[in-house]
Chain A
């Protein structure tokens, strides 16, 4: 930690949050909000005089509330930077009548009650997300009495009570009478591996070994303590872990297979009794303890949603951030130039966090060291001759990559290629075929639709899937060997925003019984909000289809994330049932209606064209 504080190439911004991130791989622009700490970081020399005179007493968060701190305080003795902070919620205020004592005694005048949040801008090539985890709060598991019985504590509270730097200076004692507990019970898997909707279904990875460690610490400090550990399985899989587990057993720690249903406190002695079925012997036994420690699990960080949204990341079903590939790219985020380190990706112990952190450093160095990156040639191109300057593309572009355009003056729009991310929403919305999406051209996609439907169209479901979420969700379904009927044919686009209404109508005209448009959930759209236009388009088509006497049910819409292989599978099964219900007569009728409607529109266009041509020539003649 100290090394970070003094490293010449680390710009440490504590008490700061990420306000905004824009840009893309290699070129991110980040706005950091440096929150007011009311103490001048560069001046404070941690003399501690301010703390002595502060009259406010507040619970010390670092000590899990077991002791108190002042309104102006050092987060913990070894804090980096070694600088005081003033908690504005606790502080009585700078009005000298109210208080202001700390400012009076600060010789260097570091305390500034009027300090405001500062916005700091940085430009970076890569981003490492190491936002960590939170500890499971066992309040909802009321049967363990965490909120009712003082002598039931969590494993995090245990850490502070046994730490030499803790509130008791390492003298382990139970909260009710400050006596050293002689009998201690550990309950494992609190909030982990649950199936009843409370807690989480996954294994938190660290709690078994943490309890083994805790038991050894206790046996070391207080030999002869009676320790019982109640567990489902002891998972001691890492290097040196089994050895530690065996040492704990040899030291006399009893491991009992079975997790108690409920715990009770003796109101007089404040001792805790729990009833448990030892599943290896089948015996139901009562155990009395002076203190019970809940080995609480690990959960995704509660405030990680901000970063997730700013970087368009997804979560796996457990709520942790999803990596690019579970085996082959476990450190890379699906968003280019973003990497994961530590518990943000899954629960990890210190060693695994450090390992992934070094991996993230190495992975990002590949990008940083290259110095340049080639951008996929999938951006939009303007077909100037077709552009009327109507400006609909300017309105729908999520990245403001299209500017200008004036329909009256017939000035075409301009596309800034560097800003274009290739979602294709502009091309889908353009009514004049004036935008060409490189590598996802209209003609290419239409050819795919034609090819799908030129044989046995009744047997097939046409599926448009966006690259980042629903296509990836289908990949995950396959990877997980989820089984579904083989009737769908997938057309991949970068974003569901690319799916032009004409693709869908063309598919129906070619005899598709069912068409599905699938994309990312609203919050997950990789092109900010391009999929809002997908919804608008599909909703309009539902209306249009209905007006033409075509069942809107035949056009389906689904948001399927990259983690939702199951939703993909379920959707495919349901659509197959719907497909079988579509009759040949119905499809023939649809084909006829759509063909007639299309011919009508084309005839109208043709009738209009010569007039438009004449109009175009007029101003040209005028300028000439």
Chain B
């Protein structure tokens, strides 16, 4: 399985983890164990505001 970059919304830690769009997986930050870990998109679109 390919790896993708993730970012923890609790402690800010960035890490790589296996990722497959079709297979939902439980993920946790390797540093703080939080499950608030969205995949980092290539170029995050910021609001115009």
Q: Please say whether the chains A and B touch (CB closer than 8 A).
A: yes
Residues of A that sit less than 8 Å from B by CB: 521-523, 529, 532, 535-536, 539, 542-543, 546-549, 552-553, 555-559, 567, 571, 574, 578, 593
Closest B residue, CB atoms, query A546 = B44
Q: Which chain B residues border A529 with CB–CB below 8 Å?
A: 24
Residues of B that sit less than 8 Å from A by CB: 9-10, 24-26, 32-36, 38-39, 41, 44-47, 49
Considering the chains assembled together, what is the distance between the CA atoms of A557 and B34 in angstroms? Answer: 8
**A522 partner, pick from B9, B25, B32, beta carbons under 8 A:** B25
Considering the chains assembled together, what is the distance between the CA atoms of A552 and B38 in angstroms? Answer: 9
**A558 partner, pick from B36, B39, B46, beta carbons under 8 A:** B36
Considering the chains assembled together, what is the distance between the CA atoms of A539 and B40 in angstroms? Answer: 11
A534 to chain B, nearest CB (A): 10
Q: Which chain B residues border A547 with CB–CB below 8 Å?
A: 45-47
Can you name 18 A-B pairs with beta carbons within 8 Å?
A: A522-B26, A523-B26, A539-B39, A542-B9, A543-B38, A543-B41, A546-B46, A546-B47, A553-B9, A553-B10, A553-B36, A555-B9, A555-B36, A557-B36, A558-B36, A559-B35, A571-B34, A578-B10
In the complex, the answer to whether A556 meets B10 with C-beta atoms within 8 Å is yes
Considering the chains assembled together, what is the distance between the CA atoms of A453 and B4 in angstroms? Answer: 37
Q: Which DSSP category, helix, strand, loop or mixed, fits chain A's interface?
A: helix
Q: Which chain A residues border B41 with CB–CB below 8 Å?
A: 543
Interchain residue pairs A-B with the least CB separation, the first 4: A549-B47, A522-B26, A532-B24, A553-B9
In the complex, the answer to whether A542 meets B49 with C-beta atoms within 8 Å is no
Considering the chains assembled together, what is the distance between the CA atoms of A522 and B26 in angstroms? Answer: 6
A135 to chain B, nearest CB (A): 31
A542-B38, A553-B9, A574-B10 known; A559-B46 Cβ under 8 A = no
Closest B residue, CB atoms, query A559 = B35
Q: Which chain B residues border A578 with CB–CB below 8 Å?
A: 10
**B24 partner, pick from A535, A552, A553, A567, beta carbons under 8 A:** A535
B33 to chain A, nearest CB (A): 8
A391 to chain B, nearest CB (A): 20
A521-B26, A522-B25, A532-B24 known; A557-B47 Cβ under 8 A = no
A522-B25, A556-B10, A559-B26 known; A539-B47 Cβ under 8 A = no
**B46 partner, pick from A523, A532, A542, A549, beta carbons under 8 A:** A549
Most buried by A among B41, B44, B46, B47: B47
Q: Which chain B residues border A521 with CB–CB below 8 Å?
A: 26
Closest A residue, CB atoms, query B37 = A557
Q: Which chain B residues border A539 with CB–CB below 8 Å?
A: 38-39
Closest A residue, CB atoms, query B26 = A522
**B9 partner, pick from A532, A543, A556, A593, beta carbons under 8 A:** A556
B14 to chain A, nearest CB (A): 14
In the complex, the answer to whether A556 meets B26 with C-beta atoms within 8 Å is no
B8 to chain A, nearest CB (A): 9
Considering the chains assembled together, what is the distance between the CA atoms of A417 and B38 in angstroms? Answer: 35
A343 to chain B, nearest CB (A): 28
Closest B residue, CB atoms, query A529 = B24
Other A-B pairs, 12, CB within 8 Å; known A532-B24, A553-B36: A521-B26, A523-B26, A542-B9, A542-B38, A546-B46, A547-B47, A549-B49, A552-B38, A556-B9, A557-B35, A558-B34, A574-B34
Considering the chains assembled together, what is the distance between the CA atoms of A168 and B24 in angstroms? Answer: 54
In the complex, the answer to whether B24 meets A556 with C-beta atoms within 8 Å is no
Closest A residue, CB atoms, query B25 = A522
Q: Which chain A residues border B46 with CB–CB below 8 Å?
A: 546-547, 549
Closest B residue, CB atoms, query A554 = B9
Q: Which chain B residues border A552 with CB–CB below 8 Å?
A: 9, 38
